[in-house]
Amino acid sequence: MQSLTRWFMLPVLFIALCIYGFSEMVKAQTKSDQGSGTSGYHLIKKIELGGTGGWDCLNVDSDTRRLYITRATHVAVVDVDSGKVIGDIPNTNGVHGIAIASELGRGFTSNGRDSSVTIFDLKTLQSIGSVKVEKNPDAILYDPATHRVFAFNRGSSSASAIDAKTGSIAGTIALGGHPEFAVADGNGMIYVNLDDKSEILALDSRKLEVKSRWPLAPGENPTGIALDQQHRRLFSACENKKMIVLNADNGQVVSSMLIDEGTDGAGFDPETQLAFSSNGEGTLTIIHEDSTDKFSVIETIPTQRGARTMAIDAKTHNIFLATAQFGPAPEPTPERPHPRPSIIPDTFVILVFGK
């Protein structure tokens, strides 16, 4: 009887070992995907838009499935699912960024050359007003905690706060440096990179005042910024090829990682716990948040030269990058000692990366 029992137990033991082995393999693969393997991101689509002129920031409205693309004098609006152009917002001279106030049905553009902010209707895309701000507004964001729009003025080193409902100026904050990108935490704090100071400022969006100034060393000349709101971590992409992670409550630097050259965008996806840096040399750096204070560069994937600004679709987790083909740079001048390469007409494209 004992012999028969042993023979019966052998297949059971074999099956149990197989199940255990498969389980460990799945765990190992999951760990690899999250910590030291590949992200799964790859180029899934190219949206050929063509046209002439440059571009700056992108913004995805995941709820309405729209991608807003700044194109120097206007904003192109693309359906993110079909890749088709569905509208255009004209007369935005020197436009840099777009802010979306979904609950108010309004959008806002920062028009650098006109030192103004255009207010438009999210449904019709028609302009419904314009607000004069200080010199050369660049980054712009909507703060849901105060229902204010903040335009960050590079030319005057200031931020203009606009009541999103009325379009009136609520106040102006002196920043003491040139602002780049900014991000709001939804609870009344706004964080903005100062590229010429290599600092992050923490702004009180209710009191309209600077609460803290935090150095980014070893990071220099920050551009893109992103926030993990749950774990209170800021990601600042710096021109000296570093991504700096800070504690959003006290400004302490908790990590520094290498990225590639020419960054001008950063993003964070709270569902996947992935942070991104879009790099002008033609790569996308992907970083996993292993724990609150531990981060790993899991992959750097090729994109296309010039793809240095980015946006994330919160619904699909797709990454949108803008770029074009380039010709030779013009001759340097005293006003422009380091001119950018010329853009070949009709080569502008949106690269869509996903899993």
Q: Among 194-198, 306-310, 326-330, whose mean pLDDT is lowest?
A: 326-330
On the question of a cis peptide bond just before residue 302, with omega within 30 degrees of 0, the verdict is no
Residue 128 pLDDT > 60: yes
- pLDDT bucket at 217, cuts 50 / 70 / 90: very high
Residue ranges of domains in the chain: 53-215
pLDDT, residue 1, reads 43
pLDDT, mean of residues 131-152: 98
Mean pLDDT of the chain: 91
* Parallel/antiparallel/unpaired status of strands 294-302 and 116-121: unpaired
Contact predicate 241/261, CB 8 Å: yes
CATH number of 53-215: 2.130.10.10
pLDDT, residue 341, reads 85
pLDDT, mean of residues 127-154: 98
Q: Three-state secondary structure along 10-46?
A: HHHHHHHHHHHHHHHHHHHHHHHHHHHCCCCCEEEEE
- CA atoms of 130 and 89, how far apart (whole Å): 13
- pLDDT bucket at 332, cuts 50 / 70 / 90: confident
- CA atoms of 155 and 79, how far apart (whole Å): 33
pLDDT, mean of residues 38-48: 95
pLDDT, tens digit, 9 for 90 and up, residues 52-93: 889 999 999 999 999 999 999 999 999 999 999 999 999 999
pLDDT, tens digit, 9 for 90 and up, residues 21-32: 444 443 334 333
pLDDT, mean of residues 105-128: 97
pLDDT, residue 92, reads 97
Eight-state DSSP code of residue 331? P
Q: For the chain, what's the residue count?
A: 355
pLDDT, residue 338, reads 80
